[in-house]
Every structure is written in C-alpha cells, then in structure tokens.
Structure 1
Amino acid sequence: MIKCLIIDDEPLARSIVLEYLQHYPTIEVVQECSNGYEGVKAIMQHQPDLIFLDIQMPKINGFEMLELVEHVPGVIFTTAFDEYALKAFEANAVDYLLKPFSRERFDTAVNKWLEKQKAGVAEAKASILNDLPAKQPEEQQRIVVKAGNDIRIIPVQDVLYLEAYDDYVKIHTKDGLFLKKKTMGYYEQTLDPAQFVRVHRSYIIPLTQLTRIEPFEKDSHLALLRNGVRVPLSKSGYTRLRTVLGL
C-alpha cells in the first residue's frame, strides 16, 4: 500500500484531493494536515511515499516545511499561486497542480508519479532545496529551524552571525545556536545585502552587530561583534564590508 499525506490549510482543498484519491485503491491517506508544523511531524511519523502539499500556508510555507524534512517523499504541489510554479519544479516536484484543478489534471499528476515509481526514479531530496534562492517575502525575513521536536521561527534581526558548518549553517542568536541544512551561498543570495555581508567563506555578519574592524597579523583583519565574538575577514570580505559601510 502506498502511504500518502495531504497538507493544506483549506479543508475544501483537502476534501477534493481526498475525493479524487478514492479512485486509487493502492494509495492510502494516512493523515490530513492543516499546516506545515503538522506536516513535518506527520512525515516523520508515517514516512509517506507521496504528499500533496500546498505552498502558501499559515505559520510556515510549503518550501520551508520541506527544508525541515530529512527524507523528502514524492511531492505534488497544490496551490492557487502559479507564481510558485518555477520554484516547485526547481525543487524537483513530481508535478504542480494549480487550484482549482480538474480530476483529469489530478490523474495526470498521480499517474506521472506512479510511472516514476515503477521506473525506480528517485524523488526530491532535501539537498536539492539547499541552494534555491528564497522567492517568498517571508523567507527573506526569517529563518525556520527544527530544534528537537519543535519548529522555531527566527526573525533575521535576531541573528548575531552565520557560520558554515560542514553541510549545515550555524545560526547564532541571543537565544542559542541552531543548525540549518542550507548553504552559505543561499543566505548570501537571500538576506538583504545592505544589512548582511559575507565577510569570509565561512561567515556572514549583520551590520547591526558590528562594533569595529580590527587589524590582525599579516595585513588581515577581524570584525568585532557586539557579543564579543571576533570574526575573521578574508581579503575579499574585508573589501566587501568596507564598500557596504562606505569606507
């Protein structure tokens, strides 16, 4: 039996997907979720093969939800906002259904996934999302992280600095350290360049946390932050920082 989740904040939209799935006896809907928080927990609990996922939802959007999932199942996006289509396919979704969609269009999407399953084609992996620039305004103003079993939304103004850490990025805040499976390049593209500067291959700092620039050995420099941390500046990072500061 194929395990499936429906994740959408609109009850009517969930009911339509549920109705259409009645024609697929091999697909079992193990849970319906009304937001991304529930979706993350349900994916962890049920390990579904396929999810029908809305993009624009309260709390966290569909893309932010996928970033919190270690093993991403097959994804068919269902949304009323066609502006998200490009990013959906960049995320290697099986298909993209624009609401309101017909039974025929729904069948096309499901059969497309079933054919991929028969062919043994791997579906989307979380790493595919790591380098995609944020296209929703909320993603540029916050960072959504998973802390144990909880989901936490960090406003960018609470970020002290970002640090590269293997395949993750360390998000340093006044409330502690959080890990996000993203790349430094992602945040360099996403965060406001007038407020956040990549000063080193491994560091991005917000200008609000900078107190001064100190000379270091062999013509190198350090950035002193408000919390006392000294961040190394690469040559290009030092030049970039001076340019943003107008020095």
Structure 2
Amino acid sequence: MIKVILIDDEPLAQSIVTEYLQGYPQFEIVQCCNDGFAGVKAIAQHKPDLIFLDIQMPKINGFEMLELIEQPPSVIFTTAFDEYAIKAFESHAIDYLLKPFSKERFDKAIQKWLQMRNQVQVKPTHTALINEEIRQPEERNRIVIKEGSNIKIIPVHDIQYIEAYDDYVKIFTQKEMFLKKKTMSFYEQTLNPAQFVRVHRSYIIALQQLTKIEPLEKDTHIALLKSGAKIPLSKSGYLKLKSVLGI
C-alpha cells in the first residue's frame, strides 16, 4: 500500500482529496491533520510515501513544516496560492493543485507522481522550494525550531545574533540558544537587512543589540552586544556595518 497523509485545515479540501483517492485502491490515507504541528508528528509516526499539503494553515505554514522534517516525503501541494506564485515553484515540487481543483487535474498529479515513483527516481529535494525567495510573510518575521517532539516559534525581534555551526546555525536569544539546520547565507538573504547584518563569515548580528564597536588588534574590530557578547568583525563586515550605521 502507498501511505498518504493529508495536511490541510479545510475539512472540505480534505474530503475532496479523500473522495478523489477512492479511485486509487493502492493508496491508503493513514491520517488527516489540520495543522503543520500535527503534520510533523504524523509524518514521523507513519513515514508516508506521499503527503497532500496546504500552504496557508494555522500555527505554521506548509513551507515551515517541511523545514522541520529532515527527509520529507513526496509532496503535492493543495493550495489557494495565486497562479503566478505556483508557476514560480513548479520545477521544485511534484505538483500543485490550485483550489478548487477538478478530478481530472488531481488525476494528472497522481499519475505524475506514480510515473516518477515507477522510474525509481530519487525523491525530489525540497531545499530549493523552501529557500525560494517567494515566501509567506510570516516566515520573515519568525523562525520555527524543532527540539525533540517540541516545536517553538522564535520572533525575529528576539534574536540577538546567529553563529555558524557546521551544517547548522546557532540562534541566540536573551534566554536560550537554538540549533537550526540552515546556512548563514539563507538568513543573510532572508532576514531584514535593515535589522540584521552579516559582520563575519560566521556571524550575523541584530543591529538593535549593538552597543559599541571596538578595535581589537591591528585593523581588526569587535562588536559589543547588549548581552555582553563580543562578536568578531571581518574587514568586509566592519565596512558593511559602518555603512549600515551611516558612520
């Protein structure tokens, strides 16, 4: 059997996919979820072959949910996103079904996935999809972290600085430090450049946390933050920081 999970906060959308899948006896819906939190837990429990995923949902959106899964299953999006945004993502996903979608359009998506599966093709990565510049507005204002079975949402205004850590980054707030499997380049491009500056290959700082810039050795400097953290500045980072501060 092909295990399927539906993740959508609209009961009507879930019922439509359920009805359309009745024509495919090899598919088994193992769980229906109303939000991304439940989706993460269901995927960990059932390890489905395919998920139908909405984008705009309560708590966390579909993109943020995928970020929390190390090896996402194949995804067919069922979304009310406009057609322009959908076309921007087409090359990175199995398929997109724009609500309301017909049985014929649904069948095409299923056949596309079955063909890829039968060809023993490597599951498409969702990295490009998740890193796409076209993102939901809330994703620029928060970072979603998974710690064990817990999911935490960090508002970006709570971030003091970000430090590179192998394949992860360390995200420092006033009270805690969080690990996130992302690159420094991702956050350099995603975070508001008027609020965050990459001052070193390994550091991004929040400008509101900066209290002082001090010389360290010949031609080198450090940034002092409100927390007392001392952040090294590269030569280019120092110049960038001065430019942003207008000094």
TM-score when scaled to structure 1? 0.96
| Letter of the structure 2 residue corresponding to residue 157 of structure 1 | H
Deviation per CA, 1:109-130: give whole Å up to 9, x if none.
Answer: 0110000000011223354456
Q: In the alignment, which residue of structure 2 is the partner of 1:113?
A: 113
> Does the alignment pair 1:9 with 2:9?
yes
Determine the C-alpha separation between the residues in 1 that align with 2:133 and 2:219: 34
Give how far 1:183 is off.
Answer: 1.2
The question of whether the paired residues in 2 share the 8 Å contact of 1:142 and 1:154 is answered with yes
Cα distance change on mapping 1:79 and 1:129 into 2, 3 Å: closer
Instruction: Supply the distance in 1 between the matched residues of 2:39 and 2:88 (Cα, whole angstroms).
Output: 20
Gaps of 5+ in 1: none
Equivalent residues of 2:195, 2:208 under 8 A apart? yes
* RMSD (Å) for aligned C-alpha atoms: 1.4
Deviation at 1:69, TM superposition (A): 0.3
C-alpha separation in 2, matches of 1:86 and 1:229: 44
Quick one: distance in 1 between partners of 2:40 and 2:235?
Answer: 41
Query: Residue in 2 aligned with 1:43?
Result: 43
Counterpart in 1 of 2:181?
181
Partner of 1:240: 240
Q: 2:223 is matched with which residue?
A: 223
What secondary structure sits across from 1:44 in the alignment? helix
Partner of 1:193: 193
Aligned equivalent of 1:204: 204
Go from structure 1 to structure 2 and tell me whether the alpha carbon gap of 1:43 and 1:171 turns closer, same or farther (over 3 Å shift). same
**Using the alignment, how far apart are the partners of 2:129 and 2:215 within structure 1?**
38
Corresponding residue SS for 1:151:
strand
Partner of 1:74: 74
Output the amino acid matched with 1:78.
T
Question: What are the ranges of 5 or more consecutive residues in structure 2 without an aligned counterpart?
Answer: none
Equivalent in the alignment of 1:147: 147
Identical columns (%): 64
Which residue is 1:33 aligned to? Answer: 33
Tell me how far apart the structure 1 counterparts of residues 20 and 2 of structure 2 sit (CA, whole Å). 15
What is the one-letter code of the residue matched to 1:218? K
Stretch moving more, 66-75 or 175-184 = 175-184
1:16 partner amino acid: I
Shift in CA distance, 167/126, structure 1 to aligned 2, threshold 3 Å: farther
Aligned-partner Cα distance in 1 for 2:87–2:162: 28
Alignment of 1:66-105 (within 5 A): 66-82=66-82, 83-86=84-87, 88-89=89-90, 92-105=92-105
Tell me whether 124-133 or 43-52 shows the greater mean CA deviation.
Answer: 124-133
Residue-pair matches, total: 246
